[in-house]
């Protein structure tokens, strides 16, 4: 049971004052959880900050920097009726004049905020326009009372459509008021050495910074929170490991008959990397230790086939395997690859997702329970309680980082000591494997299957959009298909970002009904429909947000256009590019960027042009993330971690591992009163599955 102490943090966000049911939807999208909780918001880290401490005079204010100006309001010049001109307000101080510009805002409203003759404080940036200093839409217009409450440093948060920075900050204030004092889980020496604040103080300083170091990833508050998250993670790994040793594994070995039959059905021979990975996996499966292995390889490196061969090993021993993928599209695609090969080898397979319903679903469940299905492919639907295997011996999880530990455990628990194979198309730098997985075994498919053409990758300024559009036209004329990727529809805090729907309309106007659209706001069926039309060749251009990122296979698509490439992370760009170059025809990837590019963005694009090795790219990505430019543009955190940013905090992992080892050596089941704080920490960071291991053992 979760300690009552944490209840205020795990209450739904809507229990906070000012967050009604209407606000739940946008917060749900922001925080990536259907029913967002207070703790999810508190762990929503700033992506930057605005320093409000600069208080220059009007004459002394640098253009395009954040300032807070004390001004006197001299007069108003409302927008002439019916025209799209702005409302202008004239203000001044002893050193000069400034024009405050508002578009589309009621004059009476502005005049109330800026009464003539009054002193006001304006937060924002000034620019020079026709020789005049002006400030367009100040971030804040304050009177003396407002100024007294102004935060000296204001955190800036990643946002989604329908949610403004002010709303997030106000919600955060309400959430901070809920933070309880927690027992300290971090060992005293570390805390003292690092001079870290306690949990509550750390959250307060991060979200209500008084100093830049409070809000920076390398500052004490964030480092503390990252460390405690690592500690929770390491303790979880330790508990899982202990449990595995305790429970042990089962040896599954057959006569090689099915495995050979699958091989014989393959229209190609395995690469050396595939052979090596498979023989490691086969040995694990045959051993009586429980397998926990990671299979890493770029998109298209041939993981699915290896997974099928692994499944064949347990099936020929009379047992079953399951392959779980994070999305319907991916599950179906795996199934399409697997089904004909399995059929040729005489392996019973089926697919189970949210779409299989009623009698059809029941028939699958019956076949599964009777052992007539050897390999079941599916989505989260596989872990529903009524999905019962006759004898599950191998659980394969694709894109494992999209699942929680708990979901992975739930799947493997459907079998007795089931072996587990985790697959990922996001290569993880070696230096991080330990962080994320402890001492899990890992196989890497670095080599691509033969016959693949390299992807010709170029970066092009957005100003040359016309030429890009022509290139798309040429590709279509040549019978090819193209992807056109836009930044997420949801992430519209910067409104000039190409919006997928708008791009879709523009391309459709030029290329007609062959242009289709897929994005994250569509329902699963709509998305699948769009993917299916593209896959069958019915549509020729697919405008998409990053929902096509993972795993989708359309060999005839040979052109990939990525708009605002500078907004994407390196690993993500690489993933996206992996959608092309899957057939035997040469492919092109055009990275459209809006200049001027920062150093890091330049380095990212250069790396992509020069390499297609996902592992090398992952290493470089990590290095570049560490180089900065992280604040300001959104960098998503690392999968599985809410607070910790590995590019900054991974050096702390070793210490967290050590602390965890000490804790578990002293108290393996965390049952002593002294372990209360650590137990609380596990709950706090959502490692509930680990807690269940404790109560089971």
Q: Which does 574 bind (CB under 5 to 8 A by kind): Mg ion, ligand ADP, none?
A: none
Least separation, in Å, of the C-beta of 279 and ligand ADP?
Answer: 15
Binding residues for Mg ion, rule CB under 5 A, total 2
Nearby residues of 497 by Cβ (< 8 Å), 6 or more positions away: 486, 487, 491, 564, 567
Comparing CB distances to ligand ADP, the nearer of 197 and 551 is 551
CA–CA dist 66, 55 (Å, integer): 9
Q: Is 570 within 8 Å of 607 (Cβ atoms)?
A: yes
Identify which of 307, 271, 268 has the alpha carbon closest to the alpha carbon of residue 400. 307
Nearby residues of 657 by Cβ (< 8 Å), 6 or more positions away: 234, 434, 438
Least separation, in Å, of the C-beta of 379 and ligand ADP?
Answer: 16
Q: Which does 249 bind (CB under 5 to 8 A by kind): Mg ion, ligand ADP, none?
A: Mg ion
CA–CA dist 477, 641 (Å, integer): 46
Least separation, in Å, of the C-beta of 309 and ligand ADP?
Answer: 11
Nearby residues of 618 by Cβ (< 8 Å), 6 or more positions away: 426, 427, 428, 429, 571
Q: Which does 572 bind (CB under 5 to 8 A by kind): ligand ADP, Mg ion, none?
A: none
Binding residues for ligand ADP, rule CB under 6 A, total 18
Nearby residues of 60 by Cβ (< 8 Å), 6 or more positions away: 95
CA–CA dist 389, 418 (Å, integer): 11
Comparing CB distances to ligand ADP, the nearer of 239 and 330 is 330
Q: Is 380 within 8 Å of 368 (Cβ atoms)?
A: no
CA–CA dist 284, 441 (Å, integer): 10
Structure tokens at 218: 């390398």
Q: Which does 581 bind (CB under 5 to 8 A by kind): Mg ion, ligand ADP, none?
A: none
**What's phi and psi for 130, nearest 5 deg?**
50, 40
Identify which of 171, 245, 241 has the alpha carbon closest to the alpha carbon of residue 23. 171
Comparing CB distances to ligand ADP, the nearer of 144 and 532 is 532
Tell me which DSSP letter residue 493 carries. S
Q: Which does 293 bind (CB under 5 to 8 A by kind): Mg ion, ligand ADP, none?
A: none
CA–CA dist 374, 546 (Å, integer): 33
Q: Which of residues 270-299 bind ligand ADP (CB under 6 A)?
A: 270-271, 274, 297, 299
By the rule CB under 5 A, 249 interacts with Mg ion:
yes
Binding mask 398-427 for Mg ion (x = CB under 5 A): ---------------------x--------
Comparing CB distances to ligand ADP, the nearer of 333 and 675 is 333
By the rule CB under 6 A, 268 interacts with ligand ADP:
yes
Comparing CB distances to ligand ADP, the nearer of 238 and 326 is 326
Comparing CB distances to Mg ion, the nearer of 275 and 288 is 288
Comparing CB distances to Mg ion, the nearer of 294 and 489 is 294
Nearest residue to ligand ADP by CB is 302
CA distances from 125 to 58, 101, 329, 695 (A): 11, 12, 46, 56
Q: Judge if the upstream peptide bond of residue 82 is cis by omega within 30 degrees of 0.
A: no
Secondary structure class of 489 (helix, strand, coil): coil
Q: Binding residue for ligand ADP (CB under 6 A) from 3, 96, 354, 449?
A: 449
By the rule CB under 6 A, 302 interacts with ligand ADP:
yes
Q: Which does 271 bind (CB under 5 to 8 A by kind): Mg ion, ligand ADP, none?
A: ligand ADP
Q: Which helix (H) or strand (E) holds 546?
A: none
Least separation, in Å, of the C-beta of 66 and ligand ADP?
Answer: 45
By the rule CB under 6 A, 581 interacts with ligand ADP:
no
Q: Binding residue for ligand ADP (CB under 6 A) from 228, 301, 443, 535?
A: 301
CA–CA dist 417, 286 (Å, integer): 13
Q: Which does 303 bind (CB under 5 to 8 A by kind): ligand ADP, Mg ion, none?
A: ligand ADP
Q: Which of residues 520-579 bind ligand ADP (CB under 6 A)?
A: 551, 553
> By the criterion CB under 5 A, which residues form the site for Mg ion?
249, 419
């Amino acid at each position: 049971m979760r300690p009552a102490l944490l209840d205020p943090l795990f209450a739904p966000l809507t229990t906070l004052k000012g967050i009604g049911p209407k606000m739940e939807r946008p917060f749900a999208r922001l925080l990536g959880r259907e029913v967002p909780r207070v703790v999810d918001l508190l762990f929503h880290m700033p992506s930057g900050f605005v320093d409000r401490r600069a208080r220059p005079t009007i004459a002394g204010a640098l253009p395009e920097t954040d300032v807070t100006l004390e001004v006197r309001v001299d007069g108003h010049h409302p927008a002439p009726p019916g025209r799209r001109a702005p409302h202008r307000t004239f203000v001044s101080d002893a050193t000069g004049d400034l024009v405050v510009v508002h578009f589309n805002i009621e004059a009476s409203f502005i005049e109330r905020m800026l009464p003539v003759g009054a002193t006001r404080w304006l937060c924002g940036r000034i620019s020079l326009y026709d020789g005049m200093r002006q400030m367009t839409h100040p971030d804040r217009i304050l009177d003396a009372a407002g100024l007294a409450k102004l935060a000296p440093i204001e955190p800036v948060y990643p946002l989604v459509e329908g949610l403004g920075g002010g709303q997030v900050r106000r919600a955060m204030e309400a959430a901070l008021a809920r933070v309880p004092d927690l027992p300290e889980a971090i060992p005293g020496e570390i805390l003292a050495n690092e001079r870290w604040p306690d949990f509550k103080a750390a959250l307060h300083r991060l979200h209500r910074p008084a100093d830049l170091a409070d809000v920076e990833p390398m500052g004490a508050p964030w480092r503390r929170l990252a460390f405690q998250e690592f500690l929770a993670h390491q303790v979880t790994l330790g508990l899982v490991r202990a449990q595995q040793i305790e429970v042990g594994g089962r040896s599954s070995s057959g006569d090689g008959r099915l495995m050979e039959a699958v091989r014989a059905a393959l229209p190609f021979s395995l690469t050396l990397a595939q052979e090596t990975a498979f023989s490691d996996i086969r040995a694990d499966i045959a051993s009586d230790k429980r397998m926990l292995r990671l299979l890493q390889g770029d998109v298209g490196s041939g993981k699915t086939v290896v997974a099928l061969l692994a499944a064949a090993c347990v099936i020929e021993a009379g047992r079953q395997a399951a392959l779980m993928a994070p999305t319907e599209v991916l599950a179906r695609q795996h199934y399409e690859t697997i089904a004909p090969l399995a059929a040729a080898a005489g392996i019973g397979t089926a697919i189970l997702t949210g779409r299989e319903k009623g009698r059809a679903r029941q028939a699958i469940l019956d076949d599964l329970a009777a052992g007539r299905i050897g390999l079941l492919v599916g989505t989260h639907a596989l872990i529903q309680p009524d999905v019962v295997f006759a004898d599950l011996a191998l659980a394969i999880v694709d894109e494992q980082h999209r699942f929680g530990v708990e979901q992975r455990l739930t799947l493997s628990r459907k079998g007795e000591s089931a072996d587990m194979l985790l697959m990922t198309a996001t290569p993880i730098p070696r230096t991080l494997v330990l962080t994320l997985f402890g001492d899990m075994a890992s196989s890497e498919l670095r080599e691509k299957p033969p016959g693949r053409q390299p992807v010709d990758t170029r970066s092009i300024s957005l100003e040359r959009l016309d030429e890009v559009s022509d290139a798309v036209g040429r590709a279509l004329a040549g019978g090819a298909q193209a992807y056109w990727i836009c930044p997420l529809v949801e992430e519209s805090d910067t409104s000039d970002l190409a919006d997928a729907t708008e791009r879709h309309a523009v391309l459709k106007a030029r290329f007609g009904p062959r242009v289709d659209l897929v994005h994250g706001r569509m329902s699963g069926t709509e998305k699948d429909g769009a993917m299916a039309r593209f896959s069958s060749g019915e549509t020729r251009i697919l405008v998409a947000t990053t929902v096509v990122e993972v795993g989708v296979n359309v060999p005839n698509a040979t052109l990939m256009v990525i708009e605002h490439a500078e907004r994407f992370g390196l690993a993500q760009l690489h993933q996206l590019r992996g959608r092309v170059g899957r057939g035997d025809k040469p492919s092109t990837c055009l990275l459209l960027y809006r200049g001027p590019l920062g150093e890091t963005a330049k380095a990212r694009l250069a790396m992509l042009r020069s390499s297609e090795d996902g592992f090398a790219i992952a290493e470089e990505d990590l290095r570049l993330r560490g180089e900065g430019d992280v604040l300001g543009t959104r960098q998503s955190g690392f999968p599985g971690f809410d607070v910790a940013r590995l590019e900054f905090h991974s050096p702390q992992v070793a210490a967290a591992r050590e602390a965890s080892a000490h804790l578990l050596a002293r108290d393996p089941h965390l049952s002593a009163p002294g372990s209360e704080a650590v137990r609380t920490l596990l709950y706090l960071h959502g490692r509930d599955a680990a807690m269940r291991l404790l109560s089971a053992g």
